[in-house]
Amino acid sequence: MKKRSPLIATLILLVIAGLFTLTACDDEIMNLPYIRQNLAIQGGVSILYEASIPNPTASDMRTVTNLLHSRLDARGYTEATVVQEGTNQFRVWLLEADDPEATAIELGASAVLEFFDENGNPFIDENGNRLTGDLINSARWVSQSSHHGGTAEFLVELEFNSIGRQLFADATTANIGRPILIYLDDLLLSNPVVNTPIRDGKAIISGGMGGFTPAEANSLAILISQGSLPFALDIISITTH
């Protein structure tokens, strides 16, 4: 695995044709003309994504639709909808977006979180479980006083399930005095040095030298807590109306 420099701001701020096959619920389909009408009157954004794999299953397509809805709701896009187009595309309709490109990248992020040792090796137990975001029960952003002048520092707090708790305890026990690398997709989020074994199943992600803003910490917590997509999404087009 390649080591990369932390690019937190980029991750958060940059870091989501033919007949329609609509798999949204009835309310969403009924809402689509309203969204389109308001796009024309008020302006707005439509984003077209395509699955990165050639033949995604219907089940995975439904999973992605639901995850996109959850990400929209969590970010306060109440007047938005998602529809499946064909067998491998999704269109997201938004009435507003301050930065359409950043919104598209953030909404469509794969959000695969994983922990590695300083040599880039994953942590794996005897049953083949890897220390990833799938083993996290909750993720939330918190603030605390910084060691540098007492200013507020914004962090993301993670809590693992029982399997993750044991894996994380083993990982921290074996790496005293060495860093653990925390990646989201291909971006290094944090590389804290382990001072003592952590056996309570809780971990903290800081924003590196620059730190997180509250919005960055909240966006990252949302991505982690809602889970990863079953496949990557390629952005085909971003249209501003």
Output the six-digit token pair for 86. Answer: 């064909």
In Å, what is the CA distance from 170 to each residue of 100, 114, 136?
42, 15, 16
174 vs 101: CA distance, rounded Å: 41
Output the pLDDT for position 219. 82
Summarize the confidence of residues 185-190 as an average pLDDT.
Answer: 82
CATH number of 8-109+230-240: 3.30.70.3400
Q: Is the pLDDT of residue 3 over 80?
A: no
Helix, strand or coil, per DSSP, at residue 4:
coil
Task: Compute the radius of gyration of the chain from its Cα atoms.
Answer: 19
Summarize the confidence of residues 151-176 as an average pLDDT.
Answer: 93
**How many percent of the chain have pLDDT more than 90?**
39
In Å, what is the CA distance from 80 to each residue of 43, 72, 222?
13, 7, 18
Domain ranges across the chain: 8-109+230-240, 113-226
Q: Is the pLDDT of residue 223 over 60?
A: yes
Q: How confident is the model at residue 71 (pLDDT cuts 50, 70, 90)?
A: confident
Output the pLDDT for position 227. 76
On whether the 113-226 domain is CATH 1.10.390.10, my answer is no
Q: Is the pLDDT of residue 208 over 70?
A: no
156 vs 148: CA distance, rounded Å: 19
Q: Is the pLDDT of residue 29 over 50?
A: no
